[in-house]
A = this chain, B = another copy of it.
């Protein structure tokens, strides 16, 4: 309520990506593609080296044109962040400036919090070769640094955008960490599994495979553990009944 009274016209539900003095059109396009993959679509450019629009960016965007079409161009970082309440600067280097440095993951969580309470938030990315300058960094209240191999930290700007946007998306992600790919069937019940075990063991008894009485209990249990572990679907249990039946038939035919 208090927030609304400040007269915010639009509250963006995701951070704005701000590319500062980007050099290669390809990287702008790839950054747009990375953004849209992660559900981000608001892009700002500060002094793009080769002007704007840039056909090379369009080509590299691979269908993420909507992001490029809406991109806004600014003359300075100050202008580009002027309407935002929170600004995060990405940096690979350690600076002499005293700033809070967050991992990409922690930054994503903090940004979710800020944006959740209505703070418009932007993330600054520097030019390809040099990264952000200190004069750019001081427009940010927080620094984001992606933890990488200390012996080889060499992301291009589009890769950096991808990782930061990915962490943003992951922080709001509802996908279960584990699921099954085939929804046309369901996990087998334990009754169905016990029936399968019985069928298999009957067939193996008849075939002579389980003829060693002393070994039988351990062999049976090992097979049961294997089949339990494989987390069969109801469909697979039915297939497996068929496998046993046909193998046993074939075997009898051979005798």
Binding site for B on A (CB under 8 A): 33-34, 36-39, 62-64, 94-103, 105-106, 143, 146-149, 152-156, 159, 162-163, 166, 169-170, 173, 175-185, 231, 233, 235-236
Contacts and interface: CB of A to CB of B under 8 A. Distances in A.
A179 B145 CA distance: 10
A37 B181 contact: no
A182 B95 contact: yes
A180 B102 CA distance: 9
A106 B178 CA distance: 7
Contact of A152 (B63, B147, B185, B235): B63
A38 B149 CA distance: 5
Contact of A177 (B33, B97, B102): B102
A27 to B, nearest CB: 12
Given A148-B169, A149-B169, A169-B148, A182 B36 contact: no
A81 to B, nearest CB: 19
Contacts of A231: 100
B147 A180 contact: no
A177 B105 contact: yes
16 contacts: A33-B154, A36-B152, A64-B154, A96-B181, A98-B182, A98-B235, A99-B181, A100-B180, A101-B180, A101-B181, A103-B176, A103-B178, A106-B178, A143-B181, A146-B166, A147-B173
Given A181-B143, A182-B98, A152 B105 contact: no
